[in-house]
Chains A and B, each alone.
Chain A
Amino acid sequence: MRLTTIEKKVLAGFAASLLLLAAMAVSAGLSIRAFVSASRWVTHTYDVLQTVEAVRVQVQASELHTRAFILTGNPARLDQRKLAHDQADHALDTLRTLTSDNRLEQVRLALLRGHVMQLHRNQQRMIDARRQQQAGAAAELSGMAGTYQLLQQIDGLLENMEQSEKQLLNQRIEHARVTAIYTVAVFALLAVSMFGIKLYLFLRIKDEVQERERMDEDLIRAKQVLEATNKELESFSYSISHDLRSPLRAVNGFARILDAEYGSKLDDEGRRIISVIVRNSEKMSALIDDLLAFSRVGRDPVSKGEVNMAALVSKVHSDLTTASEYASTQFSLGDLPNADGDPAMLTQVWSNLIGNALKYSSRNPAPEVTVAGELRDGECIYSVQDNGVGFDMKYYGKLFGVFQRLHSDAEYPGTGVGLAIAQRIVTRHGGRIWAEATPGQGATFRFSLPREARA
């Protein structure tokens, strides 16, 4: 398939648009993934912060319950302390899982766990002392060096963890923001490119449409000029037929009158000269008639219908041979497929081809003319073959030309228009005409007619 420039451009433009669209889809996907990941990190950070807070609350609660037991000696406080302690432990475990990818946090967690365990041991010691001694001594124990610092250190570590988690969150949000800006920029760039391509295509197509409209107008103008020229030609051929034939008739007529009325007063040479005048005026008349027929074949509309070619050929053959010098020519007619065409015009084609075959084989002592036909590749192909003088294929180029002859008028009289007319008719039917020949061995003329699909 051959593509015009505009078609190539449109195709390329749409291909580029599709590519850009794909690029936009990919960048949108990447951007969405970045957002999803960022929001997951935000959730994660909140989880961490919440757990840190839980550790802090439970550690404080365990210290609170310890001191309450020392003050009151109420054993329920011990159970509450144990629960707080277990929950702090559990929160620490959760933290370890949450921050498993962060080495710094793991180190901090280990430290934290150590402090919490130390605190737990301190508390246990105070609880044991309270059980054995008075409440006052235990209160003293509660001020034991280290507990306060431990709580301070635990708080400090939790604070640090909070800080670094918040910092990480900020980094991640910033990253998502940059990704978003980048995505928007890429989107804008791609959208602008697509708009550019579409605009370019629109302008090209608009130009093309205008160009075609202009060409249509040119065609219409050319058609009008052609129609005018055709009209001129028509009146020209009318003039030829009328104005040229009139004086010719006078030449012929008066030469014959001269022969009839004064022939007895002329010698043989004088009468021969008159016969030359008569013969040539008749020849010129034949030329004019054929030229007119040729021009008419180009003008008359082709009125197509189904044509029984076999019947047509039989009629043409009998018209040409009945009571003529060609009556003795052996004629064979094969099966002919019916044609789609103008019967009058096709009659002329057959008449010219069979007439030629009869004429050019007339000097063969046993002249034969064969007409055949076949259906091939959706075409009807017809042939007229003779065993006459044939012609030299090197003059093939002149064969179908107007007034072109490959034989002398003295040997085989004719005007040289018949094959030109046949070619014109066949061409106007959408077919082809061709021939092959060998000098002295005859010629075969073939023509094809497209076979139209019938319902």
Chain B
Amino acid sequence: MSELKQVEILLVEDSQEDAEITIRGLQQANLANNLVWLKDGEEALDFLFCRGRFSDHADYRPRLILLDLKMPKMDGIEVLKEIKQNPQTRNIPVVMLTSSAEESDIVRSYSLGVNSYLVKPVDFQKFSEEIAKAGIYWLVMNKVPG
């Protein structure tokens, strides 16, 4: 099972199509090999803190979290808040992925300590390029405390 390996990317995205497009974009840059995709914020937090259906799993701390902003139940902002408040997960880079460039969302995300904020373009080609760039930057170029 791929889950037993080191998880590189955690993708939290409620839309199946958007998730698939994101994964394909990452695949083009060969970054999607160790990726976990979860459909809502609650599941993402269970995964990160080994709760709920992930309670008997080992510590799967990812190296990058891609977080959709608008999701049912718990939205991206709330998930971001939990991640950045917890010392265990605080250092994991979080990239917000969203369809809208609403100033208030951007301001709020930054005040909660988001590492990057990307507005997903409609054009697949551009989207693939941007998501690949972000993946390479945060996974390969960026250094985090050990």
The answer to whether A253 and B101 touch across the interface, beta carbons within 8 angstroms, is no
B107 CB to closest chain A CB (Å) equals: 14
Hey, what's the 0/1 contact readout for B118-144 against A, CB within 8 Å counting as 1? 001111110100000000000000000
Check if A249 is an interface residue, CB within 8 A of chain B: yes
A298 to chain B, nearest CB (A): 15
The answer to whether B122 and A252 touch across the interface, beta carbons within 8 angstroms, is yes
Residues of chain A with a CB closer than 8 A to B3's CB: none
When the two chains form their complex, are residues A252 and B123 in contact, meaning their CB atoms are under 8 A apart?
Answer: yes
Interface string of A272-306 (1 = CB under 8 A from B): 00000000011011000000000000000000000
Residues of B within 8 A of A434 (CB): none
Contacts of A247 in B (CB 8 A): 17
Q: Are B123 and A282 in contact (CB under 8 A)?
A: yes
Determine whether the beta carbon of B124 is less than 8 Å from that of A252.
yes
For B99, what are the chain A residues with a Cβ–Cβ distance below 8 Å? 241-243, 245-246, 249
Once bound together, how far apart are the Cα atoms of A255 and B123, in whole Å?
10
Q: Are A253 and B21 in contact (CB under 8 A)?
A: yes
Q: Are B122 and A257 interface neighbours, CB within 8 A?
A: no
Contact B123 A246 (CB under 8 A): no
Is B100 positioned at the interface, with any CB of A under 8 Å from its CB? Answer: yes
CB within 8 Å for A249 and B100 given contacts A256-B125, A285-B123: no
Residue contact B122 to A245, C-beta cutoff 8 Å:
yes
Question: Nearest CB to that of A241 among chain B residues?
Answer: B100
- A20 contacts chain B at the CB level, 8 A cutoff: no
Interface: A104 (CB within 8 A): no
Q: How large is the interface on B (under 10, 10 to 19, 20 to 34, 35 or more residues)?
A: 10 to 19
- Find residues 91-107 in chain B having any chain A CB closer than 8 Å to their own CB: 98-102
**Residue among B24, B122, B127 with the highest chain A CB neighbour number at 10 A:** B122
Is residue A209 contacting chain B, with contact meaning CB distance below 8 A?
no
Q: Is B55 an interface residue (CB 8 A)?
A: no
Chain B min CB distance to A302 (Å):
15
Q: How long is the Cα–Cα vector from A256 to B15 in the complex, in angstroms? A: 18
* Bound Cα distance A454, B100 (Å): 40
Inter-chain CA distance A249–B99, complex, in Å, is 9
Determine chain A's interface SS by DSSP, over half rule: helix
Whether A248 and B24, one on each chain, are in contact in the complex, defined by CB atoms closer than 8 angstroms, is no
Residue of A243, A246, A253, A282 contacting most chain B CB atoms (<10 Å)? A253
B102 A285 Cβ-Cβ under 8 A:
no
Given contacts A253-B127, A254-B17, A257-B24, contact A248 B122 (CB under 8 A): yes
Q: Is A238 within 8 A of B124, CB to CB?
A: no
- Residue of B with least CB distance to A300: B103
In the assembled complex, B70 has its CB within 8 A of some CB on chain A: yes
- Bound complex: CA A257 to CA B100 (Å): 23
Nearest neighbor of A286 in chain B, beta-carbon distance: B122
A293–B8 Cα distance when bound, in Å, is 37
State the CA gap A255–B24 with chains docked (Å): 13
- Set of chain B residues within 8 Å of A249, measured between Cβ atoms: 17-18, 21, 99, 120-122, 124, 127
Q: Across the interface, which residues of B come within 8 angstroms of A252, CB to CB?
A: 122-124
Contacts of B98 in A (CB 8 A): 242
Q: Please name 17 further chain A to chain B contacts, defined as beta carbons within 8 Å, in addition to the given A249-B21, A282-B122, sorted by A numbering.
A: A241-B101, A242-B98, A242-B99, A243-B99, A245-B99, A245-B100, A246-B17, A249-B17, A249-B121, A252-B124, A253-B17, A253-B24, A253-B124, A257-B24, A281-B122, A285-B122, A285-B123
B: residues with CB less than 8 A from A are 15, 17-18, 20-21, 24, 70, 98-102, 120-125, 127
A binding-site residues for B, Cβ under 8 Å: 238, 241-243, 245-250, 252-257, 281-282, 284-285
Q: Which 8 A-B pairs have the closest CB atoms?
A: A285-B122, A250-B17, A253-B124, A241-B100, A253-B21, A256-B124, A245-B99, A242-B99
